[in-house]
Amino acid sequence: MDITSFRIAVIALESQPALIAGTLADAASQGVQLAVFPQSSIGAPDDLSRAEPFDGPSIRAIAAAVDDTGVAAGVGWIERTEDGRFYDSYAMLFPGGARVRHRKLHASQRGLHGGNRFTVFEAPFGVRIGILIGDDNDVVENVRMTALMGATLLIAPMRGDRSHRAPLAARAADNGMFIACSHPSCDEALIAGPDGRVLARHASAKGGLIVAEVKPALAEASIGRKALSARRPDLYEPLARAGNAYPLRIEAERAMPRGSLPLSFAMVGRNRVMR
C-alpha cells in the first residue's frame, strides 16, 4: 500500500498496561496511527521475576487496547523465553492481531542475553519499520543496516540519563530516515526527520503526546538515502572483522610518476592561512 503520510506519537512516561490503554485512546482522538512507548515500558527493567513471554498477560492486554482504539503501539518489556533466557525486548502490536518482536542486540544489563538479528518489516499501513533498542542506536553500523534493509522509520525506544538527541538526529540525516525516540523523560523524547531536523519535542506535545507526520517520500528524496547508492562496500571489509579492528594498518602511499607523492600542506600565519 502506497501512502503519502501518517501520524506517529512518542510518549514520554513510565507506563503500565492500564496507562498505555488510556494513552492509546488519547492518541486515537488526535488521529495518531502509531504510538511509541519507551524501552521497558512494561514492568520493572531490573526485576527479572516480573518478566513475561511474548504472549504474556501484559502484551495481551495492550493488544486488546490496540484493537479497541485502532492505534498501533510499540512497547518494551523484559521477555522470558521457554528455555529460561531473558531479553530486553520490544513489541510492535497492530490492529487485527499482527505482532513483531525485536530483542536488544547489545545486552547491557546483567542476566540478559543479546539478540542476534536485525528487525525490519513492512507495517500494515505501508511503510518499512526498523527497531533498535537503547544504546544499540549508538553503533552507527546498526542504524545503517536497518536503512540498507529498507527502513523508512526507525523506532528507537530509550531509558536512562544520557542524552541521545544529537546522535539520533545525525543518524536520521546520515541514513535518510525518520527516527522516533520514546523516553521516560520529556526532555529526551523526540521525532527526527530524514534531513536531521527535530520535527517534534516536548514543547509541541499535545496532552502528553509528541506528534509528527511521517512522509515516506521525504525519506526517499533525502540526501542521506541518495548517498546509500554511492557506497563502496569493497572498501569496508574491516568493518566485518571480529573483535577490535582498530587502529587500522595504514597502507604505504604509492609512488606517483617520477617518484613524486601527493601532498597537502598549510602555512599558518598570524592573520591568514596560505595553502
Q: Assess if residue 259 is contained within a domain.
A: no
Q: Assess if residue 201 is contained within a domain.
A: yes
Is residue 258 very low, low, confident or very high in pLDDT (cuts 50, 70, 90)? low
Q: Assess if residue 98 is contained within a domain.
A: yes
**Residue 234: pLDDT over 90:** no
Q: DSSP for the chain, please give it.
A: ---S-EEEEEE-S---HHHHHHHHHHHHHTT-SEEEPPTT-SS-TT-GGG-B-TTSHHHHHHHHHHHHH--EEEEEEEEE-TTS-EEEEEEEE-TTS-EEEEE-SS--STTPBPP-S-EEEE-TTS-EEEE--GGGGGSHHHHHHHHHTT-SEEE----SSS--HHHHHHHHHHHT-EEEE--SSTTT-EEE-TTS-EEE-GGG-BTTEEEEEE-HHHHHTSHHHHHHTT--GGG-GGGG-SS---SPPPPPPPPPGGG-------EE-SS-EE-
Residue 173 sits in which domain range?
A: 6-228
Least reliable range by pLDDT among 146-155, 196-205, 266-275: 266-275
Buried b (16+ CB within 10 A) or exposed e, 184-200: bbbebbbbbbbbbebbb
**Residue 267: pLDDT over 60:** no
Taking all residues of the chain, what is their mean pLDDT, rounded to a whole number? 86
* Separation between Cα atoms, residue 275 and residue 267, nearest integer Å: 6
Q: Assess if residue 275 is contained within a domain.
A: no
Q: Assess if residue 133 is contained within a domain.
A: yes
For residue 252, how many C-alpha atoms fall within 13 Å in the half-sphere facing its CB? Answer: 3
Is residue 109 very low, low, confident or very high in pLDDT (cuts 50, 70, 90)? confident
Residues in a beta bridge with 190: 181
**Residue 26: pLDDT over 70:** yes
Which pLDDT belongs to residue 13? Answer: 75
Q: Provide the domain count of the chain.
A: 1
How much is the pTM? Answer: 0.86
**Residue 121: pLDDT over 60:** yes
Q: 203 vs 95, which has greater pLDDT?
A: 95
Q: 142 vs 206, which has greater pLDDT?
A: 142
Q: Assess if residue 154 is contained within a domain.
A: yes
Q: What CATH number does the domain containing 196 carry?
A: 3.60.110.10
Taking residues 169-188, what's their average pLDDT? 93
- Check if the beta carbon of residue 23 is closer than 8 Å to that of residue 169: no
Which pLDDT belongs to residue 261? Answer: 46
Residues in a beta bridge with 274: 267
Q: Assess if residue 266 is contained within a domain.
A: no
Q: In the numeric block, which cell numbers belong to residue 67?
A: 484493537
